[in-house]
Structure 1
Amino acid sequence: MIKDNVILLGGPFLNDLDRIEQTLPKYLSRYRKVHCFEYPRFKNLVLVFLRKIKLSERVNTNLTIFHSIGLLPFGRNIPLINKLNHVFNYIIFTSITSLSNRAYNIISFTPEISYLFNQLNTINSTHRVIYYVLDNYMSLPYWSNNLQRNQLKSLERKTLLNSSLVITASIPLYRLFKKKHTRVILYTTPAELSPFIKNSSKNTILISRKTSYIPEPRIGFIGSLYDWRINFQLLLKLLKHFHNISFVFLGTFHIQNEEIIKKLNKMKNFYFLGKKKYSTIPNYIESFKACIIPYSLGKYGKYAYPVKVNEYLCKGKPIVSTALPALKSLSKKKLLYWSKNNKEFIRNTQIALNEKAKYLARMRKKEAIKNSWQNRISEFLNILNT
């Protein structure tokens, strides 16, 4: 059994909101040695120089983060720079960790692992590469222009050729990559539900006081607001149609469209509360009558699996979603209101607000617990052992 695991991240370890790139290393480090290799950023070079961060950081006994530095910026625009940054950091990384003498799994959330194949074969040919696909990467903003897309296509081709296994986070991604690789596994992203299960009554009182100015009933959304992710036409229609309902948003605000920002700010029932401590999120959700996932159904939404659905389920809340293919199975189980268009979304929102069946809340909670990290980390360990 290979005990050492190197995880290549497509961004920084610490992000706006914890995603699988943060939670997987933490859970995996309970059982194995884990070394996280961040995407090389020019910003890190400055921070290391100013001694704001260290090049290497130990999170716990088994988990180390390597804050990769970008020697030059604009790596995702210029392949040569991207390769230089990755190779330079990986040489330093392997010398610091002494991994050159041991076999290890490489779990990569980015196809940029292909820049390192020559080094990997030179250092140790017994490594095992696992390509972990979370999204349709072509739909993400840092792969948006032609230069970036061409680089991504080339990187992914090489990565698939050199990977022994591909893990996908949604059924649509599984179907897509099944056509490209012989060994593809579906592993829908688990949720970190510890705070939801423990749930602090102290937090409940605190949140109740902080949100007392927001009229009830409330509909909530947890996550980041991006132009490319959210269907704002739908959202504005919801705000207008349910003008007596408060819509509460927790997370980070990345909307670039000034017209959308103006329209949202004019809505008296739109409440953006910003990013909150994860330990308090269950208490905010508890205060919602229903929860929404108003994702766009474009290139991103077609393949996306929003982990937040499990957080909503864990609190037994009625959920209204756009017709995301990855969530259709929950709709078939009557755990989620799946909406094919804006009219249906509005109609389902009204149904969710009127929902009174307690057995549905119990069913949702059971479904969420099944998909928690606590219950599914063993499944991931089995994948590594195969």
Structure 2
Amino acid sequence: MAIIENRDFIVVGQQPWDTPIGSNCKDLALEFSKHNRVLYINAPLDRRTKFQQSHTEGVKKRMRVIKGQEEGLEQIGPNFWVYYPDVINESINWMKPTALFRIFNKINNKRFAKSVKKAIKQLNFKDFILFNDSDMFRSYHLKELLNPSTSIYYSRDNLLATPYWGKHGKHLEPELIKKSNLCVANSVYLANYCKQYNPNSFYVGQGCDFELFKNDDSVKVPESLNAIKKPILGYVGALLAIRLDEHILLHLAQQKPAWSIVLIGPEDDDFKNSKLHEMENVHFLGPQKPETLPAYIKGFDVCLNPQALNPLTIGNYPRKIDEYLAMGKPTLATRTEAVGIFADYVYLAETKEEYVSLAEKALAENSETLANERIAFAKTHTWEKNAEEIYKAIQTVE
């Protein structure tokens, strides 16, 4: 078993620790901390966010740290610290991808790094490993400014497909991948993308929280779901038009009016205005607390991942499929390169018509034996295993 022990890890990325939704970066940081010291760096506050979200507790807390009214370094576990930088970065993404943007981005990076060095000094971190969760702008220069023993770029989403990240990222991300000591990715598709710029790029898989996603007697189906007619085909997650194919859901609901389609999660404007809201057999239950999601999944007869096919989604590792399978549920998803590893345990559709026929098959042939096989497969995707693969990649390069 590959393992790295008694080292210092510094983790930077896009997901602040105080954001309630989970992320790969958070889970991996916790896994690293089982054998190493970990400093999790929240992204610095930027000037636009300071003004636009000044009423939120997140911004208020950061301003207290910046003003010296509150300590920015917090220990939240035996080997785990979270740091709130005491600086404000300039909001520069509006600038054109020119030399001027790079100058201002370097200024932001230097400001950020100067603050991070305070935490490094306070904790006496030495010979540390820098783990960068796709923070291609704010952390572009951190390898040079912080001088880690090893710098790792973590790719878990094709962010360049979005306008915000693509504008400058189409230049900066390949450069950052190239100058990192190694890159790790949670899908084969993204690992191959990274290999175009850095031969030390590795597919390391993905983890799942099996303490939360378990189908036993302690998990009770919510009354709101029990009141809905069966069979229930359900989806849990953000309802975003850029990631989900609304036409698949409409087709299922139209072709099978006796089935109930249940959608759980926050909606973007496209979904709020969707014809799905007009259909009697489609039920929007809204966003739910993360700890309650297994209870809803338990009440589904078939779990759905009707992914839209576009540059943003095509290489994504579908974390929710592991969560569905961990509960033994029949799962129906759109076929992509990244989903191919699930082919023996998930019903994979290429058209909206196949969604209907495969849903029928999933309902008809479900059994305890199949449920147990799904659970066993999902349990090969642990955060411990994910971290081991990352350790193995580090040891290959160091």
Normalising to structure 1: TM-score of the pair?
Answer: 0.87
Aligned partner of 1:327 in structure 2 is: 339
Deviates more, 1:62-71 or 1:319-328: 62-71
2:314 to 302, 308, 318: 302
Partners of 2:282 and 2:119 in 1: CA distance: 50
Q: CA deviation at 1:50?
A: 5.0
3-state DSSP class of the match of 1:35?
strand
Partners of 1:57 and 1:81 in 2: CA distance: 29
User: What CA deviation, in whole Å up to 9, does each residue of 1:91-111 have, x standing for no partner?
Assistant: 112112316762111110122
CA contact (8 A) 1:48 1:54 kept: no
Aligned partner of 1:95 in structure 2 is: 118
Aligned partner of 2:158 in structure 1 is: 136
CA contact (8 A) 1:247 1:271 kept: yes
How many correspondences in the alignment? Answer: 370
Deviates more, 1:212-221 or 1:163-172: 212-221
Alignment CA distance shift 1:73-1:203 (3 Å): farther
Deviates more, 1:166-175 or 1:354-363: 354-363
| Equivalent runs, 1:155-166 vs 2, <5 Å | 155-166=172-183
3-state DSSP class of the match of 2:152?
strand
Deviates more, 1:162-171 or 1:49-58: 49-58
Q: CA RMSD in A?
A: 2.5
Partners of 2:60 and 2:311 in 1: CA distance: 35
Aligned partner of 1:201 in structure 2 is: 217
Partners of 1:63 and 1:75 in 2: CA distance: 31
Greater relative contact order (Cα < 8 A, sep 6+): 2
- Structure having the larger proportion of residues in helix: 1
User: What CA deviation, in whole Å up to 9, does each residue of 1:270-291 have, x standing for no partner?
Assistant: 2222333333322221111101
Task: Report the AA paired with residue 182 of structure 2.
Answer: L
Partners of 1:13 and 1:140 in 2: CA distance: 23
3-state DSSP class of the match of 1:211?
helix
| Equivalent runs, 1:66-77 vs 2, <5 Å | 66-68=83-85, 71-72=88-89, 74-77=91-94
2:27 to 23, 27, 38: 23
| Equivalent runs, 1:1-386 vs 2, <5 Å | 3-15=7-19, 17-42=21-46, 43=50, 46-50=60-64, 55-68=72-85, 71-72=88-89, 74-78=91-95, 79=101, 80-98=103-121, 102-110=126-134, 111-112=136-137, 113-120=139-146, 124=147, 127-140=149-162, 142-143=164-165, 149-197=166-214, 201-204=217-220, 207-253=221-267, 255-257=268-270, 261-331=273-343, 333=344, 335-386=345-396
Task: Report the AA paired with residue 371 of structure 1.
Answer: H
Alignment CA distance shift 1:101-1:48 (3 Å): closer
CA contact (8 A) 2:204 2:386 kept: no
Task: Report the AA paired with residue 282 of structure 2.
Answer: F
Q: CA deviation at 1:117?
A: 3.5
Q: CA deviation at 1:248?
A: 1.7
Gaps of 5+ in 2: 51-57, 96-100
Partners of 1:243 and 1:86 in 2: CA distance: 55
Q: CA deviation at 1:74?
A: 3.0
3-state DSSP class of the match of 2:333?
strand
Deviates more, 1:286-295 or 1:134-143: 134-143
Identity %: 23
Gaps of 5+ in 1: 144-148
Alignment CA distance shift 1:355-1:73 (3 Å): farther
Partners of 1:299 and 1:377 in 2: CA distance: 27
